[in-house]
């Protein structure tokens, strides 16, 4: 791609601009001709494919299967669950007609008024309604349960302000929709998937997360409880990285899905739903990257190692290529993905900057002197350090290094989060501290009114009521009323 390697805006200058610059310059995504919709470019999509592959494996290991449900939802379906309609039947893409025809004036196409749909269709903002209308036909008895389906799909929410990956009108995601015979089972499933998400975020994305429950204000429209994982970005703002909803019997009631239980008693089915989206790529970028570009966790990097030859003539290149081929074979045998960039149009310096920008975890450079000495130069993207090492057992060294990088960037993110997470006990302090960003652990009286007041006055929201950690009761920092435990406040994406 023709593209100048201009400097990124630095994070300290303008974090938001840095993010936008980086997404574009690292060839991850770009805005499209359609307002709010993005084009996910091959390098960005390759990260999504890695995310998909790992999550899909984890879903299947926990007993789930994939399926596919229609992208269109009849308008009337959205009204069936009372709370769901308020949450999702607002800004959405509405299909009203099914035909275009040539304009009588010969100037292009017009919507054919004769092709108006009897009932408008909504492009799914989430699929609970169409899926539960389908499950009604699948479930008669407890023997048909549980149903543990996931789908990988595109969804549309007509957002007013969009940002690449973080908030786009169309985005890609997975949505799990499960049906159970008992409340306990559905709740267990909801929590199990929260654990899967947390495990994925921490082990693969190297993003530390807080597991918690949303307050009523922040709950998914139609859920009895929304569990979430919350991550902290480098600018001190929070990002919700995944949610798992306990839906109770709400959707079963809305779509009249009942089953005969073991005692021959008819009951409504219990449900969960859970999802993560291409937003995770935004989280990945904002957690690890620096002023030189992306820093990708080895577990999700499209390629983990890049090898750049440094040569004066064809003969040298041939010798280096021969040696590189050996290294590549050894790395691949260990399951390490590697790219040998012998492109003759670009200079090594250009390549170094390019792969730094693209966040390739490990870069090898091999020149004439390395050939002589049986060595190679290894550069780490996370620390930007270099060392020259012997080619002997190089694959083992690199394998260890990749593990170390994965661990190191997690630790760095963990330490950063720790450094900006603190307990705050008075609302006056809160107003000062929230300006500095980070997670604030505070007592809250549990009422939507107090939460709303804090949000209005400080733009901070309760990210979650954490499941783990300190559970000591206290008094609300605003009202002085009793609080059962501290909750996590932050400003959020």
Q: Interface with a second copy by CB under 8 A: which residues? A: 1-2, 30, 32-34, 37-42, 45-46, 48-49, 65-79, 85, 89-101, 108-109, 111, 120-123, 130, 133-134, 137-141, 143-144, 149, 153-154, 156, 158, 170, 172, 345
- Cβ at position 135, least distance to a second copy in Å: 10
- Please measure the distance between the N-terminal and C-terminal CA atoms of the chain and give it in whole angstroms: 31
Longest dimension (CA), the chain: 82
Q: Residue 65 or residue 184: which is nearer to a second copy going by CB? A: 65
The owner of tokens 């960005």 is: 44
Tally of CA atoms within 13 A in the half-sphere of 55 that contains its CB = 31
67/134 Cα distance (integer angstroms): 12
Q: Residue 168 or residue 399: which is nearer to a second copy going by CB? A: 168
Helices (H), 382-488: 394-419, 427-433, 448-458
Beta bridge partners of 362: 305, 380
- Are the C-beta atoms of residues 205 and 232 closer than 8 Å to each other? no
Q: Residue 16 or residue 140: which is nearer to a second copy going by CB? A: 140
> What secondary structure letter does DSSP report for 301?
-
141/399 Cα distance (integer angstroms): 51
- Cβ at position 126, least distance to a second copy in Å: 15
Q: Residue 336 or residue 490: which is nearer to a second copy going by CB? A: 336
- Are the C-beta atoms of residues 234 and 491 closer than 8 Å to each other? no
Task: Report the DSSP pairing between strands 482-483 and 38-40.
Answer: unpaired
Buried-state track 425-434, b at ≥16 Cβ within 10 A, e below 16 = eebeebeebb
225/195 Cα distance (integer angstroms): 15
Q: Residue 101 or residue 369: which is nearer to a second copy going by CB? A: 101
Q: Residue 347 or residue 386: which is nearer to a second copy going by CB? A: 347
Q: Residue 119 or residue 314: which is nearer to a second copy going by CB? A: 119
Paired tokens of 136: 């009604």
124/77 Cα distance (integer angstroms): 11
- Cβ at position 104, least distance to a second copy in Å: 15
Q: Residue 357 or residue 401: which is nearer to a second copy going by CB? A: 357
Q: Residue 123 or residue 194: which is nearer to a second copy going by CB? A: 123
- Cβ at position 490, least distance to a second copy in Å: 30
- Cβ at position 266, least distance to a second copy in Å: 14
Q: Residue 143 or residue 403: which is nearer to a second copy going by CB? A: 143
- Cβ at position 391, least distance to a second copy in Å: 29
Q: Residue 189 or residue 370: which is nearer to a second copy going by CB? A: 189
- Cβ at position 119, least distance to a second copy in Å: 10
Paired tokens of 368: 């004439």
- Cβ at position 162, least distance to a second copy in Å: 12
- Are the C-beta atoms of residues 274 and 190 closer than 8 Å to each other? yes
- Are the C-beta atoms of residues 214 and 226 closer than 8 Å to each other? yes
- Cβ at position 214, least distance to a second copy in Å: 25
Paired tokens of 298: 């080895």
- Cβ at position 157, least distance to a second copy in Å: 10
* 457 contacts: CB under 8 Å, gap ≥ 6: 431
104/236 Cα distance (integer angstroms): 57
- Are the C-beta atoms of residues 360 and 341 closer than 8 Å to each other? no
194/143 Cα distance (integer angstroms): 26
- Cβ at position 376, least distance to a second copy in Å: 27
């Amino acid at each position: 791609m023709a593209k100048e390697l201009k400097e990124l805006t630095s994070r300290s200058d303008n974090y938001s601009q840095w993010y936008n610059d980086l997404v574009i310059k690292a060839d991850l995504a770009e805005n499209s001709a359609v307002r709010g919709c993005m084009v996910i470019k091959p390098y960005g999509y390759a990260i999504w494919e890695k995310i998909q592959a790992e999550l899909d494996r984890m879903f299947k290991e926990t007993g789930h299967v994939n399926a596919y449900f229609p992208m269109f939802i009849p308008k009337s379906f959205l009204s069936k669950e009372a709370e769901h309609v308020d949450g999702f039947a607002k800004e959405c893409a509405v299909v009203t007609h099914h035909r275009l025809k040539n304009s009588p004036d010969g100037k292009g196409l017009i919507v054919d008024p004769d092709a108006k749909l009897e009932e408008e269709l909504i492009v799914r903002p989430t699929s609970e309604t169409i899926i539960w209308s389908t499950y009604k036909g699948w479930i008669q008895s407890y023997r048909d349960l549980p149903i543990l389906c996931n789908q990988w799909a595109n969804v549309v929410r007509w957002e007013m302000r969009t940002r690449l990956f973080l908030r786009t009108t169309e985005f890609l995601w997975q949505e799990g929709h499960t049906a159970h015979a008992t409340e306990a089972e559905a709740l267990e499933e909801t929590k199990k998937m929260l654990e899967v998400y947390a495990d994925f975020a921490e082990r693969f994305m190297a993003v530390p997360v807080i597991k918690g429950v949303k307050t009523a204000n922040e709950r998914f429209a139609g859920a009895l409880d929304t569990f979430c994982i919350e991550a902290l970005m480098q600018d001190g703002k929070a990002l919700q990285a995944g949610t798992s909803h306990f839906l109770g019997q709400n959707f079963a009631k809305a779509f009249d899905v009942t089953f005969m239980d073991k005692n021959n008693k008819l009951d409504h089915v219990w449900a969960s739903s859970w999802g993560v989206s291409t937003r995770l790529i935004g989280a990945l970028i904002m957690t690890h990257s620096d002023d030189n570009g992306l820093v990708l966790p080895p577990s999700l990097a499209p390629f983990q190692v890049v090898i750049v030859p440094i040569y004066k003539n064809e003969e040298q290149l041939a010798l280096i290529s021969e040696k590189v081929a050996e290294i590549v074979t050894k790395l691949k045998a260990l399951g390490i993905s590697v790219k040998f960039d012998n492109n003759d149009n670009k200079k090594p310096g250009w390549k170094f900057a390019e792969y730094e920008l693209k966040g390739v975890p490990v870069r090898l450079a091999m020149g004439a002197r390395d050939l002589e000495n049986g060595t190679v130069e290894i550069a780490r993207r996370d620390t930007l350090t270099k060392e020259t090492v012997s080619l002997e057992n190089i694959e083992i060294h690199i394998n260890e290094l990749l593990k170390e990088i994965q661990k190191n960037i997690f630790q760095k993110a963990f330490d950063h989060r720790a450094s900006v997470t603190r307990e705050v006990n008075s609302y006056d302090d809160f107003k000062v501290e929230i300006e500095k960003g980070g997670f604030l652990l505070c007592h809250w009286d549990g009422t939507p009114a107090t939460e709303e007041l804090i949000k209005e006055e400080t733009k901070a929201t309760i990210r979650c009521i954490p499941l783990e950690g300190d559970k000591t009761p206290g008094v609300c920092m605003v009202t002085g009323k009793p609080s059962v435990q501290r909750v996590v406040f932050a400003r959020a994406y």
